[in-house]
Amino acid sequence: MIYGYARVSSKGQNLDRQLVELREFGVSPSNIFCDKESGKSFERKNYLRLRRKLREGDLFVVKSIDRLGRNYSMILEEWAYITKTVKCDVVVLDMNLLDTRIRDDNLMGKFIADLVLQILSFVAENERMSIRERQAEGIRIAKAKGVKFGRPKKELPLYVEKAFSDYRDGAISLDEALAATRFKRTTFYKYYRSYCIKRL
């Protein structure tokens, strides 16, 4: 049996191009399973339905490896489960080397596909590490230049600052300050302390 899988990351995205290529390959529309969910995990409703249907000798077809998932270490685990535990073949349409079928012109299909997947995983992991290093370096340089990160602190409304000032100067009581700011006592003290520190 030939099964196809198509995925996009959100409900607003279109599956048509993937569906056309799966049908052109020879997958029956009734055997195509689709998800509109993130690829960061394999806990997707229709992918899990497809996974339960796979049997030894079946063929699993997907347009591209990133339609299967985004995390290469998880893809490697899933690939091993499908090809070695269930003993299905896998074809990735946009990468001819990711075809585990053993044919006359592809005697080493499974070996080559596994090898290519390992290389892709290594490259993807290296790229993730490089991105993290570049981000860390960019943050370090920005901090050295005085760039502040995080949300800017909200300025207090003028009527709150006036109430704090009057309370500090003894012009109004705590109850009057609470009424003027419309703060509860704990919130009042939290902001009042910050106000006083800024004016030291």
pLDDT in tens, 95-154: 888 888 866 555 556 777 777 777 777 766 676 677 788 888 888 888 787 776 666 566
The pLDDT of residue 10 is 84
The pLDDT of residue 192 is 86
**Strands annotated E in 28-70:** 32-36, 59-62
In the chain, what are the domains?
2-126 (3.40.50.1390), 158-198 (no CATH)
State how far the Cα of 41 lies from the Cα of 43, in Å rounded to an integer.
6
pLDDT in tens, 68-94: 887 777 888 888 899 889 999 999 998
Please confirm, yes or no, whether 9 is among the known catalytic residues.
yes
What are the beta bridge partners of residue 60?
3, 90
Residues 6/14, Cβ–Cβ less than 8 Å: no
State how far the Cα of 183 lies from the Cα of 152, in Å rounded to an integer.
21
The pLDDT of residue 71 is 77
Tokens representing 91? 């074809």
Tokens representing 6? 């198509």
pTM of the model: 0.59
What are the beta bridge partners of residue 36?
8
Tokens representing 164? 């704090």
